């Protein structure tokens, strides 16, 4: 979240207004160097709906929040992003 360093909460909320945009932001960062399956290590896969990737080798589907700070968050992702931004 270094991109948002020095910004106020209003600009932050304009950039990431909902859960979907937060998932897109996570997906962009998580797979910026390409996809690698966490289960088998295979590097080939395809993007699926909802900012997920499916491995061609083992068929494992991985979400953009998996194995991140936001993994299994029990409330909205946008709310979690705002909490992290305030810290």
Write the pLDDT tens digit of every residue in 5-40.
667 888 888 888 999 999 999 999 999 999 999 999
Domain that holds residue 46: 9-86
Is residue 41 domain-resident? Answer: yes
Is residue 4 domain-resident? Answer: no
Is residue 45 domain-resident? Answer: yes
d(CA 55, CA 43): 8
Is residue 1 domain-resident? Answer: no
User: pTM of this prediction?
Assistant: 0.81
Overall domain count for the chain: 1
* Calculated CA dihedral for residues 67, 29, 43, 77, nearest 10 degrees: 40
Is residue 72 domain-resident? Answer: yes
Residue 64 half-sphere exposure toward CB, CA atoms < 13 A: 21
Is residue 49 domain-resident? Answer: yes
State the pLDDT at residue 9.
Answer: 82
Q: Could you read off the pLDDT of 50-86 as tens digits, one per residue? A: 899 999 999 999 999 999 999 999 999 999 998 888 8
State the pLDDT at residue 36.
Answer: 92
Is residue 2 domain-resident? Answer: no
pLDDT at 2 over 60: no
């Amino acid at each position: 979240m270094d991109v948002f360093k020095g910004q106020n909460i209003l600009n932050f909320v304009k950039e990431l207004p909902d859960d979907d945009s937060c998932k897109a932001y996570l997906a962009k960062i998580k797979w910026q160097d390409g996809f690698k399956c966490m289960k088998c290590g295979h590097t080939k896969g395809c993007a699926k709906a909802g900012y997920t990737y499916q491995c061609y080798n083992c068929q494992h589907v991985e979400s953009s929040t998996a194995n991140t700070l936001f993994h299994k968050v029990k409330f909205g992702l946008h709310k979690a992003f705002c909490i992290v931004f305030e810290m």
